[in-house]
Structure 1
Amino acid sequence: MDDLDRRILRELQKDARVPFRHIAELNGVSIGTVHNRLKKMKKAGVLKGFIPILDHAQLGYAIIAIIYIKVEGGHLQEVKGQLQEKFEQINVIFQTSGIYDLVLICRFKNMIDLSSFNDEISKLQHMKAETNIVLETVKEQFYVRL
């Protein structure tokens, strides 16, 4: 990835709807160059897609829970698979170093939904979970510095 790729991505991180013509003009290249660069980055896996950034609370998902999971030895792949397959409330699964093996970020409409989720997740074998509720989102950004 070169400097032009970074400049293109910087513009798209500001607004993914920005016309290719605008990006091309800012960078002194053709629209075709911008299109080809994006196509190449998508093929390489650098660019995963263009999605809207939603306000989950406005959509009724007022509760964010961060769940820390310790997995019994030798069962990590099994537990990761179960979490991915069974629970649509999970937005993110991180495999981590340190005390916990996995960290989940989940969203719920209300405490009843969170409680039901905790009941279901506690039925999974070979793991123990600790749930923390987010009181305030101080910073949430969806872009990286390029």
Structure 2
Amino acid sequence: MDKNPEIDSVDLKILNLLMEDANMPYTEIGKRIQVSGGTIHVRMKKMEQMGIVKGSQLIIDHTKLGWDISAFLGIYLDKSSLYDEVASEMQKIPEVVNIHYTTGIYSIFAKIVCRDTQHLREVLHDKIQKVGGIQRTETFISLEERVNRPIPFGDTNQLDSY
């Protein structure tokens, strides 16, 4: 990874703490890394302007709201040059929560979330298979998600070497 000279160990410590708890107040982060809350605010604004921090999100356990099926789709395209067009159309499908342009046998690997198997069938048949440029799909139903986390930037006590 090319290091960004505008990012230092304080910035990485801030990011690590916020990845652990995105609701942590800037004053608490400042206390933990021994800088002011104002410094945290300024550095966060800098990282947002640089595109390193792209906002925050609320993570919801969809299964507790009755959306019990997560599935991954391996998508074969008629031509790989159709990726942008197909991805744009798939973004319009609310059940599609992730889209990846990939190497290997699939052109696209996507994740969808559905209420149940009937809903999954409807999404596949009535929405995804109707997107122009998709030749066929292979569906893999997830039985359990064990890990879903951001990549750590190392132990915050050891980041001074960054």
Q: TM-score, normalised by structure 2?
A: 0.84
Superposed, which structure 2 residues align to 1:87-98 within 5 Å? 87-98=93-104
**Following TM superposition, by how much is the alpha carbon of 1:14 offset from its aligned partner in structure 2, in angstroms?**
1.1
Aligned partner of 1:106 in structure 2 is 112
**Following TM superposition, by how much is the alpha carbon of 1:125 offset from its aligned partner in structure 2, in angstroms?**
3.0
- Is 1:81 aligned with 2:113? no
Q: Secondary structure at the match of 2:65?
A: coil
Question: What RMSD over aligned residues (CA atoms) do the two structures have, in Å?
Answer: 1.2
Q: Which range moved further: 56-65 or 118-127?
A: 118-127
Q: Which runs of 4+ in 1 moved over 3 A?
A: none
Q: Secondary structure at the match of 2:132?
A: coil
**How many residues are treated as equivalent by the alignment?**
144
**Following TM superposition, by how much is the alpha carbon of 1:50 offset from its aligned partner in structure 2, in angstroms?**
2.3
Q: 1:111 to 1:126 in 2, by over 3 A?
A: same
Q: Distance in 2 between matches of 1:124 and 1:50?
A: 30
Q: Answer whether contact 2:67 2:115 (CA < 8 A) is retained.
A: yes
Give CA deviations for 1:81-110 in whole Å, capped at 9, x if unaligned.
21112x110000011111111011110011
Amino acid at match of 2:133: H
In the alignment, which of 1, 14, 22 is matched to residue 8 of structure 1?
Answer: 14
**Following TM superposition, by how much is the alpha carbon of 1:69 offset from its aligned partner in structure 2, in angstroms?**
0.4
- Is 1:51 aligned with 2:29? no
Q: Secondary structure at the match of 1:57?
A: helix
**Following TM superposition, by how much is the alpha carbon of 1:46 offset from its aligned partner in structure 2, in angstroms?**
1.0
Amino acid at match of 1:110: D
In the alignment, which of 68, 71, 89 is matched to residue 62 of structure 1?
Answer: 68
Aligned partner of 2:160 in structure 1 is none
